[in-house]
Amino acid sequence: MELPGLAFAVWMFICIYASVDGYPSGKVREACTSMIPCHGGSPQLSPQHNITVNGTEFKPGDIIEVHLFGPDFEGFFIQARYAEHLDSPPVGSFMLVDRRLSQLLTCGRTKNSAVSHTSKAKKKYIKVYWIAPGDAPKRVQFLATVVKKYKTFWVKIPGPVVSQPNAPAPTTPLHATLEAVSTSHPISYLSKPFNASGCGSMKFCIRNPSNCDPESASCFFLSFQQEKSSVFIEMSGPSEGYLAFALSHDQWMGGDDAYLCVNEDHHIHVSTAYLKGRSPPVLDSENALEDVSWRLADGVLQCSFRRSIRLPTYKGRFNLDSSYYIFLADGEASEGGQIHKHRRQPLITNGIYNVTGLPQDIGGSRSPRLIKAHGALMFIAWITTVSIGVIVARFFKPVWSHSFLFGKEMWFQVHRLLMLTTVMITSISFVLPFIYRGGWSQQAGFHPYLGCIVMALTIFQPLMAGFRPSRHAPRRQLFNWFHWSTGTTARILAVVTMFLGMDLPALDLPDPWDTYTMIGFVSWHVSIDVLLEIHSYCLVRKVEVIEDDRVQILQSLTSAEAEGRLFKQIVLTIYVCGNTVFLIAFLAAINQI
């Protein structure tokens, strides 16, 4: 007995609905420095929204009304900053007027120093109060980032400047000279971003994405330039916490020579460390780095330093004239410079390199090859072979019932071949993460648990098919139900498992592209399933027997079957082409990470 494909459609959407919802909560502390939303894309150039205040002068303790208004917008982020140095930390604190629309955030060391939205509900007007601090600079400017929709936003819309009459001029520059921590070498401030000139000719460079411009806000950059007996190193990337790179003898963390640039209260602390297993890095009590400089602007952290090629007196420091795998990681840092585990997989070079050898300009991958293969094989199995096999079994029995292949009906042979291929590919893919991790992963959430269930159902399904009763046996109907429900459950859990796996650190596909593409595939499959269900229903109605005075009035059954066969073959061809497009898109995304 066959069950309608509509049941699968409803079940599929119910199971995946919760996993694709967003969280537009406005808690955007990651953008405290740059004020750039983490949506991807580029900001718009001509602002459509305005900021106004109810005064132009203030003194410590004064309260100023701040208004943001314009065409409908979903999100916003408001700060006040030192007008002469807009890259400086926020100044003063805010009070709310309507807690349903706005919330307070703490950026840096000043509590309630920023305001953002609470939801993506459309709004036209926001009012808040700014409280002038006792140590405010002479001139303060209000800035706002406004999000109209996900990819349409404006960054640092300039607002009014308010001034403090008779305020003393600042006696120290914005970026005061840092007290050298763990080193006696002086530290200076970089005046401009790094650039990629000389990469591959004069210096060894690693860039992610490949060939990106280190002056952009989305480029991770690491360069090594030999100068006699030392190497000058530059490192930059979009981070408000820390950047770090490590030299390793293998592609696993542990026993590595690491270098960290950590944002410590808006000053960058540069240090060396030793990585022991997956434990936090052990910072060195002595620092072998010279000519240390840094810059923190627009959400991009940059640091540079020099070290000798050989450091025999420093334990844990590798010689730079040997070949290593190179790791590049970023993450969050709390107040006081305490670093946290990176939230995504570090960038790892695909081979070992000597940074003092022939200059090269290379990239890397944030996903190990075994994990890439795992993801690619699972996509092949559950987007192509399973889906096509189910369509063939459900709708092509009457079409290919009179065609035989190796002594069996063609539909059955095609279905069995595709399903056995799925079992083989899934089994190979299933063991790859265990080989990579060397065991069970505790950081992968529900993904491995659901994966094990899918694997068990995948093995159970063909074993159950081996005991299939004959077509007219009394237990055949019970078998059909079990066979359908087991296969459908496996497919739904596989889709949910892939949803969960796409955002894991080891295979972090571009977001929200991965979610939208997966939803597109599910919608594509369900629409084809519904189309074929409707066609089958219409075909049955067209050829049913109508009795009138015991005279059977029949349309040509042969003609109707031929028409149905042609339609289904066209739909199947289109379906296979569509699945191929989705598969190519996923494989291309996996290849780029």
CATH of the domain at 114: 2.60.40.4060
SS3 assignment, position 83: coil
The reported pLDDT for the residue numbered 285 is 63
Between CA 289 and CA 270 the distance in angstroms is 8
Q: Per DSSP, what are the bridge partners of residue 245?
A: 259, 328
- The domain that holds 354 is classified in CATH as 2.60.40.1210
Q: Give Cα 550 to chain centroid, integer Å.
A: 68
Q: In this structure, which amino acid lies at residue 534?
A: I
Q: Are residues 577 and 430 in the same domain?
A: yes
Q: pLDDT tens for the chain, 593 residues: list them.
A: 444 444 444 444 444 433 333 335 556 667 788 888 877 678 888 899 999 999 999 988 888 999 999 999 999 999 999 998 888 889 998 988 888 889 988 887 778 899 999 988 899 999 999 988 888 899 999 999 999 988 889 999 999 999 998 765 544 333 333 333 333 445 667 778 898 999 999 999 999 888 899 988 889 999 999 998 999 999 999 988 899 999 999 888 788 999 999 987 778 889 898 887 767 787 776 678 888 888 887 778 999 999 999 988 777 789 999 999 999 999 888 766 678 887 678 889 989 999 999 999 998 877 778 888 998 999 999 988 999 999 988 888 877 767 777 778 888 899 999 999 999 999 999 999 998 877 887 777 899 999 999 999 999 999 998 888 888 888 888 998 999 999 999 999 999 999 888 877 777 677 677 788 888 888 998 999 899 888 888 876 765 544 444 444 444 445 555 667 788 889 989 999 998 998 888 888 777 66
551-553 and 546-548 strand pairing: antiparallel
SS3 assignment, position 351: coil
Of 337, 365, 393, the residue that ends a domain is 365
Is 169 within the bounds of a domain? no
Q: Are residues 347 and 373 in the same domain?
A: no
Task: Enumerate residues 6+ apart whose C-beta is below 8 A from 535.
Answer: 564, 567, 568, 571
Whether the Cβ atoms of residue 472 and residue 412 lie closer than 8 Å to each other: no
Task: Enumerate residues 6+ apart whose C-beta is below 8 A from 131.
Answer: 61, 62, 63, 92, 93, 94, 95
Between CA 519 and CA 538 the distance in angstroms is 28
Between CA 526 and CA 539 the distance in angstroms is 20
Is 466 within the bounds of a domain? yes
For the chain, helix (H) and strand (E) counts, in that order, are: 8, 26
Q: Per DSSP, what are the bridge partners of residue 222?
A: 206, 235
Q: Are residues 90 and 111 in the same domain?
A: yes
Q: Are residues 359 and 234 in the same domain?
A: yes
Q: Long-range contacts: 210-213, Cβ < 8 Å, 24+?
A: 210/363, 211/361, 211/363
Task: Enumerate residues 6+ apart whose C-beta is below 8 A from 493.
Answer: 15, 450, 453, 454, 457
Whether the Cβ atoms of residue 330 and residue 343 lie closer than 8 Å to each other: no
Q: Are residues 357 and 390 in the same domain?
A: no
Dihedral sign computed on CA atoms, order 69, 72, 73, 74: positive
Could you count the other beta carbons within 10 Å of the beta carbon of residue 563?
14
Whether the Cβ atoms of residue 364 and residue 348 lie closer than 8 Å to each other: yes
Alpha helices in 72-162 (DSSP H): none
Is 3 within the bounds of a domain? no
Q: Are residues 471 and 535 in the same domain?
A: yes
187-189 and 290-297 strand pairing: parallel
Q: DSSP letters along 498-526, please?
A: HHHHTTSGGG---TTHHHHHHHHHHHHHH
Is 316 within the bounds of a domain? yes
Tokens of 131: 């409280």
Between CA 471 and CA 261 the distance in angstroms is 70
Q: Which domain holds residue 339?
A: 188-365
Eight-state DSSP code of residue 239: -
Tokens of 503: 């955002």
Is 412 within the bounds of a domain? yes
Expressed in angstroms, the distance from the first to the final Cα of the chain is 45
Q: Any idea which residue has 């496996």 for tokens?
A: 490
SS3 assignment, position 221: strand
- The domain that holds 570 is classified in CATH as 1.20.120
Of 130, 163, 196, the residue that ends a domain is 163
CA-CA-CA-CA torsion for 14, 19, 20, 21, nearest 10 degrees?
Answer: 100
Q: Are residues 350 and 375 in the same domain?
A: no
Q: Are residues 465 and 550 in the same domain?
A: yes
Q: Are residues 228 and 285 in the same domain?
A: yes
Is 5 within the bounds of a domain? no
Of 148, 163, 178, the residue that ends a domain is 163
Domains in the chain: how many in total? 3
Whether the Cβ atoms of residue 311 and residue 305 lie closer than 8 Å to each other: no
Q: Give Cα 268 to chain centroid, integer Å.
A: 27
Is 9 within the bounds of a domain? no
Q: Are residues 293 and 407 in the same domain?
A: no
Is 90 within the bounds of a domain? yes
Closest CA to 187 of 89, 296, 283: 296
Q: Are residues 342 and 409 in the same domain?
A: no
The reported pLDDT for the residue numbered 205 is 96
Q: Per DSSP, what are the bridge partners of residue 270?
A: 261
Q: DSSP letters along 158-186, please?
A: EEEEEE-TTPPPPSS-SSPPPPPSS--S-
Taking each helix axis as running N to C, give the angle between helix 476-501 and helix 447-465, from 0 to 180 degrees, rounded to the nearest 10: 150
SS3 assignment, position 399: coil
Tokens of 550: 């015991």
SS3 assignment, position 100: coil
Q: Are residues 255 and 394 in the same domain?
A: no
